[in-house]
Structure 1
Amino acid sequence: MDIRFEKSLKLKEKIKDENKLGFGTYFTDYMFLMDYDEKNGWNDPRIVPYGNIEIQPSAMGLHYGQTIFEGLKAYKNDGKVYLFRADENFKRMNESNDRLCIPPVDEEFMMEALKKLIDIERDWVPDSKEASLYIRPFIIATEPKLGVHPSDSYLLMIILSPSGPYYKDGLAPMKIYVEDKYVRAVKGGIGTAKAGGNYAASLKSQIEAEENGYFQVLWIDGVDRKYVEEVGSMNIFFVTDDGIITPELNGSILSGITRKSIIELLKAEGQKVVEKKIAIDEIMDLHKKGKLLEVFGTGTAAVVSPVGELFYNGEKVVINNGEIGKVSQHLYDELTDIQWARKKGPEGWQIEV
Structure 2
Amino acid sequence: MAVVMDDIESTTPSNSKATPPSETDDGLLSSDAVRSILPTLVEELNDGIAIAQRTMANTPLLYVNKSFERLTGYTRHEVIGKDCRYLQGSERDQPEIARIRAAIEAGEAMDATLRNYRKDGSAFWNSLSVRPARVGDKLLYVGILRDVSEIRQAHVALDRAATLDETTGCLNRQSFILAAETRLAKHAAAVLVLKLDAIGFHDLNTGHGFEVGDALLAETGRRLRDVGAALVARMGGNEFALAFELLDEASAAAIVTLVSATLAADFVVAGANVSLRFAIGYAIGQPTTSTISIIRNAGTALWAAKSDPLAGPRRFRDADYEEARRRVRMTRELKVAVPTTNSCIISSLRSTCRPVTGSVPKR
User: Normalising by structure 2, what TM-score?
Assistant: 0.18
Tell me the TM-score normalised to structure 1 length.
Answer: 0.18
Q: Which has the higher contact order (CA 8 A, sep 6+)?
A: 1
Higher helix share: 2
Give 1 or 2: higher strand fraction: 1
Q: Which has the larger radius of gyration?
A: 2
